[in-house]
């Protein structure tokens, strides 16, 4: 049968065959909500009907500023399912960026969690297209008295019709959701996903060699629903009927460990920064993770020390993944092949460190600066290009330039790819160090630094140098109560990397500045410390 690939089909399937499979959600204002996929679908339909009554029509954008919770999930399905575009905003951005993005996207309604009420109140008057502001709570007289312009989510749901059905005129190539890149340089750029790209991405994500979700799993996405749609997990989990646990605002180590263990979570996903907090909590409390079997780690390089700790101390398998907003976001995931089974343990450990291989639907290649494709031999290092079913063709509204190069999307990363397709990110092209004409990978140097017993966090940046143009500078946050000796730290690299890779100096700091998705802001570090070697 010729049927369109539509996002509503996911929640329809989940409601029909996994209707009582639980979605457990930590509420922003306290307490836990529990219901099944059938309830989630029913409320998504009522929400869709309420938005229609408000006059919203395809392809109006509906903004969200929200944590991972059941109402946000209903928005994913109610908004996209009815032909509108679900535009998730990152609340950690600077208010000026929120204003820029919402005006650029022309969001007509904004749904927001209580946490973000001060942000919404501050930016509201500068939003040109947004006519409705919906607090994702039951109605509250105190809030109404202070903010008369606020509407309440539960009132909207109550207003929705019980007999509303998904529109029958949607095409799989229609827009379904919108995310903006974090824009560390220049204005953020919008990436518009279609129903088709989202469904193909979700179907592939769930397969065993990718995220490996099943109806026996319980998924807790730590990665926020505003960070590239929580890496597509809110689509991939209902598609196979996994139980879901939505952690709400509490993303600290203790809150997460409590939820992992009380809800018997089997799989999770998140950025390394979050896992560092969780591992520190486990270390301090002596708790274990008896139910968690694996977790997807990506967004920035997962240090091998973290993979080892999860495996050796907690029996948790790390699935190291690489992706980007422009790729919905999944590009590659590290899983073994049949031929690797029976390999010596130490070789397997080494193989599991890289960013993995692309699933069906994605093709990766490395290219030199003149656009010549380099061999997949594990040695040739070049600019990582990508093409596939869920890769963008242009930025939203065309603002952000033409992202494609001869039919490929240049990712801005520098990589090697081996003959089996396993890809290793060496650096972002703007972060990599070129010293006396030779490349030095900051990622490799950082991974080694955080395996030092006294180092909590590390960043390596390119610092200007009179003789070599650029030299690596190691920036370090020591572990609490430790005062490591710089010379000893540099000695730690001896024998582990080429001599000329060893950083010239160590700079101690209290914290490393991070962007809205938890990534180190290396440009800010370069501004602060880029000249320290010249001064010497």
- Interface residue with ligand ADP, options 221, 248, 270, 299 (CB under 6 A): 299
- CB proximity list for 395: less than 8 A, separation 6 or greater: 189, 190, 191, 401, 403
Least Cα distance to 84 among 44, 112, 137, 116 occurs for 44
- Residues 427-466, mask of contacts with ligand ADP (x by CB under 6 A): -x--------------------------------------
Specify the residue, 41 or 189, whose C-beta has the smaller distance to ligand ADP.
Answer: 189
Helix (H, G, I), strand (E, B), or coil: what is residue 164? coil
Separation between Cα atoms, residue 140 and residue 383, nearest integer Å: 53
Q: Which of 21, 28, 88, 181 is catalytic?
A: 181
Show the CA angle centred on residue 489, arms to residues 485 and 490, nearest 5°. Answer: 120
For β-strands 294-297 and 409-417, DSSP reports them as unpaired
Q: Which of 434, 491, 496, 536 is catalytic?
A: 434
Q: Which residue shows structure tokens 């039951």?
A: 138
- 459 forms beta bridges with 475
Specify the residue, 160 or 298, whose C-beta has the smaller distance to ligand ADP.
Answer: 298
Tell me if 300 contacts ligand ADP by CB under 6 A.
Answer: yes
| DSSP designation for 373 | B
With contacts defined by CB under 6 A, name the span among 133-141, 165-173, 246-254, 408-416 that binds ligand ADP: 408-416
- Residues 486-525, mask of contacts with ligand ADP (x by CB under 6 A): -------------------------------x-x------
Specify the residue, 91 or 160, whose C-beta has the smaller distance to ligand ADP.
Answer: 91
Specify the residue, 21 or 517, whose C-beta has the smaller distance to ligand ADP.
Answer: 517
Minimum gap (Å) between residue 305 Cβ and ligand ADP: 15
Sign, CA dihedral 32-123-398-79, equals positive
Minimum gap (Å) between residue 70 Cβ and ligand ADP: 25
Least Cα distance to 450 among 351, 317, 319, 304 occurs for 304
Task: Give alpha helix (H) positions in 54-175.
Answer: 70-81, 95-105, 117-123, 141-146, 153-159
Answer yes or no: 22 catalytic: no
Q: Which of 165, 439, 491, 536 is catalytic?
A: 439
Tell me if 233 contacts ligand ADP by CB under 6 A.
Answer: no
Least Cα distance to 56 among 112, 110, 9 occurs for 110
In Å, what is the CA distance from 187 to each residue of 19, 102, 184?
Answer: 42, 12, 8
With contacts defined by CB under 6 A, name the span among 54-62, 165-173, 304-312, 405-413 that binds ligand ADP: 405-413
Minimum gap (Å) between residue 179 Cβ and ligand ADP: 8
Q: Which residue shows structure tokens 């263990």?
A: 261
Q: Which of 74, 172, 263, 326 is catalytic?
A: 326
Answer yes or no: 52 catalytic: no
With contacts defined by CB under 6 A, name the span among 22-30, 55-63, 195-203, 318-326 that binds ligand ADP: 318-326
Least Cα distance to 329 among 471, 240, 184, 231 occurs for 231
Separation between Cα atoms, residue 523 and residue 455, nearest integer Å: 22
Minimum gap (Å) between residue 117 Cβ and ligand ADP: 26
- Interface residue with ligand ADP, options 26, 102, 324, 458 (CB under 6 A): 324
- Interface residue with ligand ADP, options 27, 266, 325, 383 (CB under 6 A): 325
Least Cα distance to 299 among 516, 76, 63 occurs for 516
State phi, psi for 88 to the nearest 5 degrees: -85, 125
15-74 binders of ligand ADP (CB under 6 A): none
152-211 binders of ligand ADP (CB under 6 A): 181-182
Answer yes or no: 326 catalytic: yes
Answer yes or no: 439 catalytic: yes
Q: Which helix (H) or strand (E) holds 180?
A: strand 175-180
Separation between Cα atoms, residue 495 and residue 516, nearest integer Å: 36
With contacts defined by CB under 6 A, name the span among 170-178, 195-203, 305-313, 319-327 that binds ligand ADP: 319-327
Specify the residue, 132 or 462, whose C-beta has the smaller distance to ligand ADP.
Answer: 462
- Interface residue with ligand ADP, options 355, 416, 442, 447 (CB under 6 A): 355
Tell me if 232 contacts ligand ADP by CB under 6 A.
Answer: no
Which tokens in the block code for residue 523?
């440009």
Specify the residue, 101 or 301, whose C-beta has the smaller distance to ligand ADP.
Answer: 301
Which tokens in the block code for residue 263?
């809800």
- Interface residue with ligand ADP, options 160, 247, 298, 400 (CB under 6 A): 298
- Interface residue with ligand ADP, options 109, 301, 461, 489 (CB under 6 A): 301
CB 79 within 8 A of CB 176: no
Q: Which residue shows structure tokens 């679900």?
A: 86
- CB proximity list for 483: less than 8 A, separation 6 or greater: none
User: Which chain residues interact with ligand ADP by CB under 6 A?
Assistant: 181-182, 228, 298-302, 320-325, 329, 355, 411-413, 425, 428, 517, 519
**Residue numbers annotated as active site:** 181, 326, 434, 439
């Amino acid at each position: 049968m010729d049927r369109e690939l539509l996002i509503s089909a996911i929640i329809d399937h989940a409601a029909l065959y996994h209707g009582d499979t639980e979605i457990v959600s930590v509420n922003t204002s306290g307490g836990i909500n529990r219901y099944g996929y059938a309830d989630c679908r029913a409320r998504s339909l009522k929400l869709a009907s309420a938005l229609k009554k408000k006059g919203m029509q395809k392809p109006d954008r509906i903004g969200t500023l929200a944590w991972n919770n059941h109402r946000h999930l209903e928005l994913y399905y109610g908004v996209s399912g009815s032909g509108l575009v679900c535009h998730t905003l990152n609340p950690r951005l600077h208010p000026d960026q929120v204003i820029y993005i919402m005006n650029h996207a022309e969001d007509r309604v904004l749904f927001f969690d209580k946490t973000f009420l001060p942000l919404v109140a501050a930016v509201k008057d500068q939003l040109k297209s947004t006519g409705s502001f919906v607090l994702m709570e039951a109605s509250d007289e105190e809030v109404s008295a202070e903010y008369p312009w606020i509407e309440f989510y539960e009132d909207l749901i109550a207003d929705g019709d019980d007999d509303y059905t998904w529109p029958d005129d949607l095409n799989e190539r229609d827009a379904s959701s919108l995310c903006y890149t974090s824009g560390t340089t220049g204005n953020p750029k919008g990436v518009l996903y279609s129903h088709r790209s989202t469904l193909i991405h979700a179907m592939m994500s769930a397969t065993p060699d990718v995220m490996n979700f099943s109806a026996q799993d319980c998924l807790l996405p730590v990665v926020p629903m505003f960070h590239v749609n929580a890496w597509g997990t809110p689509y991939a989990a209902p598609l196979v009927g996994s139980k879901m646990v939505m952690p709400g605002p509490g993303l600290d180590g203790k809150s997460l460990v409590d939820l992992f263990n009380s809800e018997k979570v089997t799989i999770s996903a998140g950025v390394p920064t979050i896992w560092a907090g969780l591992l520190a909590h486990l270390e301090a409390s002596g708790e274990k993770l008896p139910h968690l079997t694996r977790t997807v780690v990506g967004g920035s390089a997962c240090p091998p020390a973290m993979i080892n700790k999860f495996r050796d101390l907690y029996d948790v398998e790390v699935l190291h993944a690489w992706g980007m907003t422009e790729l919905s976001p999944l590009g590659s995931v590290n899983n073994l092949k049949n031929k690797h089974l029976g390999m010596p343990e130490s070789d397997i450990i080494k193989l599991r460190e890289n960013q993995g291989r692309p699933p069906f639907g994605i093709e990766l290649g490395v290219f030199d600066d003149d656009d010549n494709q380099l061999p997949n031999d594990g040695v040739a290092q070049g600019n990582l290009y990508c093409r596939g079913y869920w890769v963008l063709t242009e930025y939203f509204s065309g603002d952000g330039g033409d992202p494609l190069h001869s039919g490929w999307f240049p990712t801005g990363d520098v990589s090697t790819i081996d003959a089996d397709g396993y890809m290793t990110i060496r650096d972002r092209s703007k972060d990599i160090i070129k010293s006396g004409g030779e490349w030095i990978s900051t990622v490799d140097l950082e991974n080694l630094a955080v395996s030092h017993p006294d180092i909590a966090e590390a960043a390596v940046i390119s610092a200007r140098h009179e003789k070599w143009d650029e030299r690596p500078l190691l920036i370090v946050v020591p572990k609490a109560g430790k005062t490591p000796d710089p010379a000893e730290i540099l000695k730690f690299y001896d024998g582990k990397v080429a001599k000329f890779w060893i950083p010239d100096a160590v700079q101690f700091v209290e914290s490393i500045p991070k962007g809205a998705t938890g990534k180190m802001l290396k440009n800010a570090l370069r501004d602060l410390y880029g000249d320290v070697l010249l001064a010497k």
